[in-house]
A and B are shown apart, each in its own frame.
Chain A
Amino acid sequence: MDTLMAGDELRAAEAFLTHEAHLLDSARYDEWLALFAADGTYWVPAKQGQTDPFTHISLMYDDRRLLETRVRRLVAAIAHAATPSAVASRQVTNVALVEREAGALTVRSKFTLVEYRRNAQRLFAGTYIHRLTRASDSFKIASKRVNLVNCEAELDGLVLPF
């Protein structure tokens, strides 16, 4: 049983995740990047239950340096794979606290992402695991892990961050 989250903390984490999803849906990737800690990481494993991003390939695994480049490509450059760009809608639910440490929370949530591009719609779903550190009156993302239900599927290119 997950530790029960105090009401205020739960609402704060939910609000943060909702805000993050809104930034992504709005393609405000610079602002999304700003949610990450200075050494934050972003990870979409390629295997169910993958234990690390170093000894197994990942659909996406970005340390801070690569995450900055990923975001810059989406914001500043003209990526062919984003021309026309995709439109997306993300729903974040079932928010639960997994672990509480001094100054940090690990939060699990469920998401669906509907992506539309060039007459084709794709549906993604899975679990987010955010490790959030306290930052003034909000949080920073120390790490974000995205467990896709279809991470082992044969897939065409993934351009949007989850």
Chain B
Amino acid sequence: MIQPSAETLRRLVQPGRVHRSLYSDPAIFALEMERIFGHAWLYVGHESQVKNPGDFITTRLGPKPVVMTRDLDGKIHVIRNQCAHRGAQVVAAECGNAREFRCCYHGWSYHTDGRLKQVPLVHAYPPNFDPAVKSMPPVPRVASYRGFVFASLAADGPSLAEFLGPIAASFDDLVDRAPDGELEVAGGTFKHTYNGNWKLYLDNLLDAAHPLFVHQSSIEAAKVQDDSAPSDGTGEIAVRQMRQNGAPYPFWESQVGIWSYPNGHAFLGDYHDDAKLVAAMNDPVFREYREALERKKGAAEAKRILDVRRWNTNVYPNVSFMSQFQQFRVVHPLAVDKTVVYTYVFRLKGAPERMFRNAVAFSNIVNGTGSLVLTDDLETYGRITMGLASEGAEWLEISRGVGSDQPETDGGVRGKNSTSEVYLRAMFDAWLGYMAGSPRLAAAAE
């Protein structure tokens, strides 16, 4: 595989357009794994998934299997899931609690922080064999922000706080909504795959112009649904969300905004206090929740928290989440045209249990592998892969809204409205930075 030069890479991202090979060339994918997923801070998991000493989960950093563990002293580590002896995967379970990890092959065992603990037949090794330097190697850097654990495969680089910048406020929004100030991953994980590039997922999650077309079938089906048909709450939430996807362009162009930031992060947010986008703002469960929040945080603080109206937030390159329904999605690239996304639901501690139930119902409809909504997104990613194979248009457009982007005082750039592709331009600026060491192109794009 020929590695493209920095000069070649810089030619592939131009003002308002990107070359199709960014979504289809295996050589570029391999380089992305090295330069983007090998350097950026990647979300690994939430501290609530490893609550107690010895708790662990297995996951991936990009395509690489790793284990997130809490050692017996309570410190969180991210270690490679590979035995230092003959290379076997050590931890096979998805999650659990262990005092040590032992390889299935020859029984080498490891402390919960990855250090080698014991080697059978150690007397038979030569004198220069040093167990102290063998390990399930820890990832060079691990840091967490308000319970969200990130890791970087690069020993050097910006701190997590520098990497996140102003987008950290989206995590604040999610955590602050918990009356007890804490979140907990609960309710299981969707694992949906698609035949397409990893970037398509992040492209789509902030794309306010796609629902009317991609989700036409579920919008039409939901619009005429008889609301007197029996529902235990599941259908009510699902049908409301599907109808919301059918909001006309003027809604997306006047009621919803989009903000992008350095390093490719961005979020969709509401300009106005609009109950349509919010979980049953007027229902008894929400009133009970608001009261719980006010009791714990005071009325003024509760109002401040609930007035934040962020819809999806992307943290480039592997996370997209939404605080209003406590949804969290993690992108794992497997190949240039194969991606798997793991999605999670958070329980807001101190909130009524029914809030969590609503979040589960919402997850089923927007993240569910068998959802009426998501299946059309997954199909679209596959169609893009098939379309790119046609090698028609060489360049893909990312120019909608160019010329109307507004710089913000916090270093962000605000699109004219939510249909602006400003967030795509921000992601490709970041892409160029990682891939070719190029400065941001935002100014050039104007």
Measured CB to CB, the residues of A under 8 A from B are: 38-39, 41, 44, 46-47, 50, 53-70, 72-73, 76-83, 152-159
Structural contact, A77 and B216, CB atoms closer than 8 A: yes
Asked if B372 is at the interface (CB within 8 A of a chain A CB), the reply is: yes
Given A57-B188, A64-B231, decide whether A72 and B360 contact each other with a Cβ distance below 8 A: no
Are B227 and A54 interface neighbours, CB within 8 A? Answer: no
In the docked arrangement, what's the CA distance between A82 and B222, Å? Answer: 17
Interface residues in chain B, defined as those with a beta carbon under 8 Å from any beta carbon in chain A? 186-195, 214, 216-218, 220-222, 224-227, 229-236, 238-239, 242, 340, 345, 356-357, 360-361, 363-364, 367-372, 374-376, 378-380, 383
What are the residues of chain B within 8 A of A156 when measuring CB–CB?
192-195, 369, 378
A153 to B187, CA, bound (A): 16
* B residues less than 8 Å from A152 (CB atoms): 191
Q: Are A77 and B220 in contact (CB under 8 A)?
A: yes
Q: Which residues of A contact B367 (CB under 8 A)?
A: 57
Contacts of A65 in B (CB 8 A): 225-227, 229-231, 234-236, 239
Q: Once the chains bind, are A46 and B239 in contact (CB under 8 Å)?
A: no
* Nearest CB on B from A134, distance (A): 20
Can you list 6 A-B pairs, Cβ within 8 angstroms, ordered by A?
A: A44-B370, A59-B369, A66-B235, A66-B239, A69-B239, A73-B218
Distance in angstroms between the alpha carbons of A162 and B370 in the assembled complex: 11
Q: Which residue of B lies closest to A57 (CB)?
A: B188
Residues of A within 8 A of B220 (CB): 72-73, 76-77
Contact A57 B376 (CB under 8 A): no
User: How far, in whole Å, are A38 and B236 apart by their CA atoms in the complex?
Assistant: 16
Give min CB distance, B198 to chain A, whole Å.
14
Residues of B within 8 Å of A157, CB to CB, are: 192, 194, 369-370, 374-375, 378-379
Question: Cβ of B218 and Cβ of A77 under 8 Å apart?
Answer: yes
For B353, give the chain A residue with the smallest CB separation: A55
A60 touches B370 (CB 8 A): yes
Q: Which of B239, B340, B360, B370 contacts A54 (CB 8 A)?
A: B360
Q: How far is the CA of A159 from the CA of B218 in the complex (A)?
A: 12
19 additional contacts (CB under 8 A) given A59-B370, A64-B230, A73-B217: A38-B230, A44-B370, A55-B186, A55-B357, A56-B187, A57-B190, A57-B360, A60-B370, A63-B233, A65-B229, A65-B231, A68-B226, A69-B222, A73-B220, A79-B372, A80-B380, A152-B191, A155-B193, A157-B378
Neighbouring B residues of A80 by C-beta, 8 Å:
214, 217, 376, 379-380, 383
How distant is A79 from chain B, measured CB to nearest CB, in Å?
A: 4
Question: Are the CB atoms of A72 and B221 closer together than 8 Å?
Answer: yes
Minimum CB distance partner of A45 in chain B: B188
Contact status B188-A46, CB under 8 Å: yes
> Which residues of chain B come closer than 8 Å to A41, judged between CB atoms?
232
Contact of B231 among A44, A58, A63, A76 (CB under 8 A): A63
- B201 CB to nearest A CB, Å: 13
Which of A64, A73, A76, A159 is the one whose CB lies under 8 Å from B229?
A: A64
A144 to chain B, nearest CB (A): 14
**Distance between A80 CB and nearest chain B CB, rounded to angstroms:** 5
Q: Which residue of A lies closest to B232 (CB)?
A: A63
| Residues of chain B lying within 8 A (CB to CB) of residue A67 | 235
Please name the residue on chain B nearest to A72 by beta carbon.
Answer: B221
